[in-house]
Amino acid sequence: MASRNPTRPLSPHLGIYRWGPHMLVSVIHRGTGVAMACVGMPILLWWLAAMAGGPESYRGFEWFFTDLLGGAIGYLVGIGLTLALFLHMGNGVRHLFLDAGALFELRRNKLSSLAVLAFGVTATVVYWFFVGVVK
């Protein structure tokens, strides 16, 4: 609370633990969740409102993501958001297993965390390969 005595000892925090994949996916889960809620959703709202607003307003959306800086913003935001989505999605499924009481053994916990990272990166690469190259 606001009136906390700063001289009192703190409970062990991030700094004293040795980093492992389980900590990494935990931090990534929160980070990607906040990013999608605070950046991804406003962009989705802008896109929907631009469609509802008519060709003129849609043009503004297109300009920002595909024309400005040669379309760099569109690719940066698009790839970033799909990576965030697939990482959050993969770890979300892992969390449902954790809720059921599974994957708490050290080895399985580590392996499932690594699987989440592998899935997030692979799914993003496959997705953009399909959208950008195959199609």
Partner 1 sequence: MRTAIREVRGLGAAKEGTHHWWNQRLTAGSNLLLMLWFVIVIARMPAYDYATATATFASGWRAIPLLLLVVSVFYHLRLGLQVVIEDYQHGQSRVVALVLLNFYTVAGLAIALFSIAKIALGA
13 binds partner 1 (CB under 8 A): no
Q: Residue 133 is which amino acid?
A: V
Q: Residue 72 is which amino acid?
A: A
Contact 75, 41 (CB under 8 A): no
Q: Distance between CA atoms of 102 and 37, rounded to whole angstroms?
A: 28
Q: Distance between CA atoms of 48 and 30, rounded to whole angstroms?
A: 26
Six-digit token string for 51: 């469609």
69 binds partner 1 (CB under 8 A): no
Write each residue from 75 to 114 as x if it is in contact with partner 1 (CB under 8 A), else as -, in one continuous string.
-------x--x---x--xx-xx--x---------------
Q: Write out the residues near partner 1 by the rule CB under 8 A.
A: 1-2, 30, 33-34, 36-37, 41-42, 44-45, 48-49, 51-55, 58-59, 62, 82, 85, 89, 92-93, 95-96, 99, 127, 130-131, 135
